[in-house]
Each structure stands twice: as C-alpha cells, then as structure tokens.
Amino acid sequence: REAPIPKMLAPCLLRRVLLTVPLVFVVALLLAEPVRSDQEAGTAIPAESRPCVDCHAFEFMQRALQDLKKTAYNLDTRTETLLLQVEKRNLCDCVTANLLN
C-alpha cells in the first residue's frame, strides 16, 4: 500500500520550485555587474583616428542641406509645371468661349 505523504508532497515541492526559480533569477540579476556604457564591444579605435562629433554633425547637416535643396528644386519644377498646365487650360477655355460667341 502507498503512503499518502508523497502524493501531498509533490504539489508542495512543485510550488516551491516555481517560486524559487524566478527568485534566484532576480537575485542573480541584482548581483550581476552591470555593463558600463564606456565598455565597447570589439576592438577599440584610437581617439586620434576617430572623427570628432562636430565633424559628424557637420557632415550630417551638409547631407540634410543637399536633400533640402533637391526637394526645393523638385517642388519648384512641379509648381512651374502645374502653373503652365493651369495657364494652358485657361487659355483653351478662353479660346473655346470666344469661338462659341
């Protein structure tokens, strides 16, 4: 005959394991040394050979300005095209109206 104690012990042990595993994980995360922001992965590039932050910002601004110039040119061209279409339509409407009178 089986003893009733192991049947009751299994759910209790399972519950303890389910509570202990996350607790151990949280404690491990708290005790682990955080990665500092000054630690870089891979090989370190000497500061002398890296472009300065201002140089990167200047290059970025140059590219942004070039993009803006292209966009402005495209908008100007499109506006001129639309204005010519409107003038042509108005001229055609005017000529058609004059022919009907």
Tell me the one-letter amino acid at 60: F
Tens of pLDDT along 22-72?
778 788 777 776 655 555 556 676 766 666 767 778 888 899 999 999 999
Measured CA distances, 51 to 40, 46, 57, 65, 83 (Å): 17, 10, 10, 20, 47
Looking from the CA of 41 toward its CB, the CA atoms found within 13 Å total: 1
Give this prediction's pTM.
Answer: 0.38
- Mean predicted confidence (pLDDT) in 12-19: 72
Distance separating alpha carbons of residues 22 and 71, to the nearest angstrom: 55
Query: How far, in Å, CA of 21 to CA of 50, rounded?
Result: 46
CA 63 vs. chain centroid, Å, equals 19
Locate all alpha helices (DSSP H) within 1-101, ordered by sequence: 5-31, 53-100
